[in-house]
Chain A
Amino acid sequence: MTRFFTLLLHGDRHADRVVPPTGHTAWLTSFTAGAMTFLAVFALALSLASGRMADRWSDALARTATVRISAPADQLDFQTRAVLDVLATTPGVESARAMTDEEQRKLLEPWFGPDLPVDALPIPRLVELTEASDGYDSEGLRQRLAAEAPGAVLDDHTRWRRPLATAAGRLRLLGLASILLIGVTMAAMITLAANASLAANAQVIQVLRLVGARDTYIVRAFVRRFTFRALAGSAAGALAAMIGVALLPSADAAGGFLTGLGFTGWGWLLPLALPLLAALVAFFATRTAAFQKLKELP
């Protein structure tokens, strides 16, 4: 196998020449590798973006929580102080503060407009807390809050954070599964192309066997050709897809999920690995197909 790889990389002028160039299989292999790599780059971008999003959401939400205090107006300040006192003495709570009327107005502004009379409406008071790195006992805190401030409800975001993180994680897996499927499809297509080429060159193979060529020699000639075709096609596909990803709308222009659908930093190097993977897939697909086909011959 080592000698096989060495000859594959260094080339064998004679082995390359014995197989006549076959137009349609060359085109099919390069096109398949190019198209599949193009799709794989987008699947990779999707997967990386989902991963980043899942991490960002988890980080942003995991360390904050909110205490909502709904109480009659004459008890609101009292219960707010009680909540702040409880939080100040709760292990694992780094800081806590009551949101101002102005901050609450801004939170409600998207729904009710800028002129919302917060003072005149029975809006609950919100207390924002940040947890320390070792976290707090949410159930214990709930019980203490219920005892000290009956109108206080702890919302640690778990209820809606978990499905979001799960969805993002699954999206990442879906991206990776897509890359795997694309790889398998590419292997199948290249196997078909290699089989077609082997069938078209049955006479050549027969002559080579007749003059004493070993199977490895014949296989090498085909494998080298298909591997380099796949590499070239895949490199073109990867380049085109990277340009496509680079041209996606920027964060300012589009916002939301699409802003993250791209590569950042070293991530731009990852698509460059896909042509090498495509070449490996082509190498093993052609090698397997060629050995299998040769076994059918005397």
Chain B
Amino acid sequence: MIAFENVAYNYGGGELLSDMSLRLAPGSFHFLTGPSGSGKSTFLKLCYAELKPTAGHVTLFDREVRTLARDDVAQMRRRIGVVHQDCQFLDHLPLAANVTLPLTVSDREVSPEDVGDLLGWVGLRHLADALPPQLSGGERQRAAVARAVIIGPDVILADEPTGNLDWELSLRLLKLLVELNRMGKTIVVATHDMNLIRQTKSQVAARVLRIQNRRIQLAGADL
């Protein structure tokens, strides 16, 4: 689904990631950990072709990222839902329009009933007409999950999705991601919250990947 082969990434001020090789299997659940600035966000950006590797090969759905034209990248992103820590909404559009954005930009029909059901799933049905700045941090994160899944992606990437949330809201959000994984979606969650990882591992078979010294390692026993 997503494969890295000897991948390196250099921002220009030295190598941030180097010699990374891994394969994200369909239906798997991965946590990505590592200290701040270790390259978790960069790893995720490589996963949805926001960045291209400076060395090695990233393959998305059996296609090498470097060979993708801009329209191909857009097409790939319709198969990858991304949840950012800052959510990245269009502040002038109501919540429902923001959540349905992946459908509208791909000229697909938007069913108001389906949108209502989806917002109900994340507990935001009553806020469909609210503007993003009117939402709390937890509401925004859940809305971001709704937007990430509305188009039925194969992979969901979440970058510090619980960074601004309290413990209870964090667990609620992780529960949503676990539910999605049970529906067959591949999930990658970047977080440095070890308690959250332990809590989630009790519900789902998750692999923990750690970025340390520019390389990715499979973690486990030390958690």
Spell out A's residues near B (CB within 8 Å): 14, 17-18, 20, 203-204, 206-215, 217, 294-295, 298
With a CB–CB cut-off of 8 A, which chain B residues contact A204? 90
Which of A14, A203, A217, A295 has most chain B Cβ within 10 Å?
Answer: A14
Q: Contact at B97–A209, with CB atoms within 8 Å?
A: no
Which residue of chain B has its CB nearest to the CB of A12? B107
Complex interface: chain B residues within 8 A of A294 (CB): 70
| Complex alpha-carbon distance, A14 and B101, angstroms | 9
Contact check, B101 vs A207: say whether CB atoms are below 8 A apart.
yes
Q: Would B105 and A298 count as touching, CB distance under 8 A?
A: no
**B89/A211 in contact, CB under 8 A:** no
CB pair A18 B101 closer than 8 Å: yes
* Given A212-B105, A217-B105, also A207-B90 (CB < 8 A): yes
Residues of B close to A206: CB separation below 8 A: 88
Contact B93 A17, beta carbon cutoff 8 Å = yes
Given A207-B90, A210-B88, A294-B70, 9 extra CB contacts under 8 A: A14-B104, A18-B90, A210-B77, A211-B77, A212-B74, A212-B151, A213-B74, A215-B70, A215-B74
**Known contacts A212-B78, A212-B106, A207 near B92 by CB under 8 Å:** no
Q: How far apart sit A209 and B107, CA to CA, in the bound complex (Å)? A: 14
Most chain-A Cβ atoms within 10 A of its Cβ — which of B71, B82, B88, B105? B105
Q: Is B39 at the interface (CB under 8 A from chain A)?
A: no
Partner of A207, one of B50, B52, B89: B89
Asked whether A212 and B70 contact (CB < 8 A) given A206-B88, A298-B51, the answer is no
Determine the chain B residues whose CB is within 8 A of the CB of A203 once the complex forms. Answer: 88
* Interchain nearest-CB distance for A177 vs B (Å): 39
Check A207–B88 contact: CB distance below 8 A. Answer: yes
Q: With A14-B104, A18-B93, A217-B105 as given contacts, are A209 and B88 in contact (CB-CB < 8 Å)?
A: no
Residue of B nearest to A297 (CB): B70
Shortest A113–chain B CB gap in Å is: 79
Contact with A along B37-58 (1 / 0, CB 8 A): 0000000000011111000000
- Tell me the bound Cα distance from A94 to B104 in angstroms: 77
**Cβ B50 vs Cβ A208 within 8 A:** no
Of A20, A212, A298, which is within 8 A of B90 by CB?
A: A20
Q: Across the interface, do B147 and A211 meet the contact criterion of CB distance under 8 Å?
A: yes
Given contacts A20-B90, A298-B50, are A215 and B97 in contact (CB under 8 A)? no
Contact indicator A211/B70 (Cβ below 8 Å): no
Q: How far is the CA of A29 from the CA of B51 in the complex (A)?
A: 35
Chain A residues near B212 (CB-CB < 8 A): none
A/B interface sample: 30 pairs, CB < 8 A: A14-B104, A14-B105, A18-B90, A18-B101, A18-B104, A18-B105, A20-B91, A20-B92, A203-B88, A204-B90, A206-B88, A207-B89, A207-B90, A208-B105, A210-B48, A210-B50, A210-B77, A211-B77, A211-B147, A212-B75, A212-B77, A212-B78, A212-B105, A213-B74, A213-B105, A213-B106, A214-B74, A294-B70, A298-B51, A298-B52
Q: Hey, which chain A residues are within 8 Å of B77, CB to CB?
A: 209-212
Interface residue B161 (Cβ < 8 Å from any Cβ of A): no
Contacts of A210 in B (CB 8 A): 48, 50, 77, 82, 88
Q: How far is the CA of A46 from the CA of B61 in the complex (A)?
A: 63
A175 and B216 CA atoms in complex are apart in Å by 69
B83-129 contacts to A (CB < 8 Å) = 88-93, 97, 101-102, 104-107
Contact residues in B for A14 (Cβ distance below 8 Å): 104-105
Docked pose: A209 CA to B105 CA in angstroms:
9
- 8 A-B pairs with least C-beta separation: A213-B105, A212-B78, A212-B77, A14-B104, A20-B92, A211-B102, A214-B74, A211-B101
Q: A17-B97, A298-B51 are in contact. Are A211 and B105 (CB under 8 A)?
A: yes
Chain A residue nearest to B104 (CB atoms) is: A14
Task: Report the Cα distance A19→B102, complex, angstroms.
Answer: 15
**Best-buried of A18, A212, A298 by chain B (most CB within 10 Å):** A212
Q: How far is the CA of A249 from the CA of B44 in the complex (A)?
A: 71
Determine the chain B residues whose CB is within 8 A of the CB of A211 once the complex forms. Answer: 77, 101-102, 105, 147
How many Å lie between the Cα of A295 and that of B52 in the bound state? 15
When distances are taken between beta carbons in the complex, the residues of chain A under 8 Å from B82 are 210
In the complex, what distance in Å separates the CA atom of A295 from the CA atom of B50?
13
CA distance A212 to B107 in the complex (A): 11
Query: Which chain A residue lies CB-closest to B70?
Result: A215
Min Cβ gap A20→B in Å is: 4
- A210 to chain B minimum Cβ distance, whole angstroms, is 6
